[in-house]
Amino acid sequence: MVLQTETEEKIIASAEKLFYQRGKAGCSMQDIANDAGINRTLLNYYFRSKDQLFEAVFRKAMGSFVPSLASILHSDITFQEYVPAMVETVIDTLIENPQIPTFVLQELSSNPARMPQIIREMGINPAIAKKKMAADGVLPADQNYDSIQLIINILSLCIFPFAARPVIIDILFDGDNDAYIAAMKERKKLVPGMVKQFMMQNPSK
Amino acid sequence: MVLQTETEEKIIASAEKLFYQRGKAGCSMQDIANDAGINRTLLNYYFRSKDQLFEAVFRKAMGSFVPSLASILHSDITFQEYVPAMVETVIDTLIENPQIPTFVLQELSSNPARMPQIIREMGINPAIAKKKMAADGVLPADQNYDSIQLIINILSLCIFPFAARPVIIDILFDGDNDAYIAAMKERKKLVPGMVKQFMMQNPSK
DNA sequence: GTCTATATTGTGATAGAC
DNA sequence: GTCTATCACAATATAGAC
């Protein structure tokens, strides 16, 4: 990590906060400057344009979870260890940074092409991940339909509860945030169990 | 449904398209007018303000799935029939309207309080739904922890694959949209199977 | 590095002619 | 119902003083 000036850090912190909450178009440079308690023109001095400031925030957000995912996806552990490791990593990351899913999905909707591109840039190779699952004998190489559903299930069960966090806390937990967090931690054990069941129930054809 | 003028319909169609894609702040009244091929001031004539136009679009989006969910949640079928019915309804709705999850989650992030409010307005009563699950003996009334995880699982498995649609199609289906749709239809059987396993594996304590 | 001042364009909204 | 003209204001961005 490159050393940053104090001002630069304040800008990033405020930009993250506001972009996460309201999206790229939902807040102005002035809003960010106000939140950071600095002059608005400093944002242009440090990041040149709103686009480039947003880009910095977006890449930082992606960088907070893609590399850890990538290392697991490409590691040498067996598939049986693989699923709990992935689930734990993702959920722990999201407990720390619960707003990331909504933020990323939001950007995804106005710019569908960019996220897959960045994921690849950051070192996730779908082909390698699929081959790994095949190599462990969990799923055969010539039939990847179920393995795709498996990945979709894992990601859904881990990420969605954070993407829909406000409604879930309000409707299902009657506003109790601590109970919500506890339930998310519980899911680190729950989800691998469900996924294991899924694999037994849907053997590769 | 009230009869609408042709112009009004064009406005709603374009507003839906652009709000879904870029969010409320991500497109201007001018953008919408251009897309509809009409004069910008007509938007104000028909909907008075951007806020009210957005409100109309948002409520229409919620109205496309909340009532069907509500009718199942409060129906008299047993819990065993309940899950597949709910899954089928949700997935079918989302195949028709795949952009709704992202759109709703987006708005949710800038305005966390409004969605739970509208859900209740539209007739979903969380207390009734929980009691129903208890009454069928699936889960006891005095212990609703597992029933909450169950609901989270169902919603996650049904909704997330649509919220993350662009990445999933690109990374997991190599851009093949038809394969994606086929997989989503397949999930109408897959998801209830997983959920059933979950209930057997995690009996209420 | 930080400020003031300013250029330029875009925004939502309304009044009033037709 | 639909248009033109116009309002007041907010946006991003840059030039230039300190």
Instruction: Tell me the per-residue pLDDT of A33-76, one tens digit each, with 9 for 90 and over.
Output: 999 999 999 999 999 999 999 999 999 999 999 999 899 888 88
pLDDT(A144) > 50: no
Nearest nucleotide, CA B6 to C1': D1
Mean pLDDT of B129-154: 72
Between chains, do B201 and A197 touch, taking CB under 8 Å as contact? yes
Burial label, A19 (beta-carbon count in 10 A; 0-12, 13-18, 19+): buried
Instruction: Show the tokens assigned to B41.
Output: 């001031």
In chain B, residues 98-157 whose CB comes closer than 8 Å to chain A? 99, 102-103, 105-106, 108-110, 112-113, 115-116, 119, 126, 145, 148-149, 151-153, 155-157
In this prediction the pTM is 0.93
User: CB neighbours of B110 closer than 8 A, spacing ≥ 6?
Assistant: A21, A22, A23, A26, B24
What pLDDT does A126 receive? 80
Q: How far is the CA of B58 from the C1' of D6 (A)?
A: 32
| Residue-wise pLDDT tens digits, A74-88 | 888 887 788 999 999
The answer to whether the CB of B24 falls within 8 A of the CB of A106 is: no
Vertex B200 angle, CA B195 and B205, to 5° = 115
Is residue A26's beta carbon less than 7 angstroms from any atom in nucleic acid strand D?
no
In chain B, residues 174-193 whose CB comes closer than 8 Å to chain A? 183, 186-187, 190, 193
Q: How many whole angstroms separate alpha carbon B172 and alpha carbon B183?
A: 11
Q: How far is the CA of A24 from the C1' of C6 (A)?
A: 26
What pLDDT does A95 receive? 98
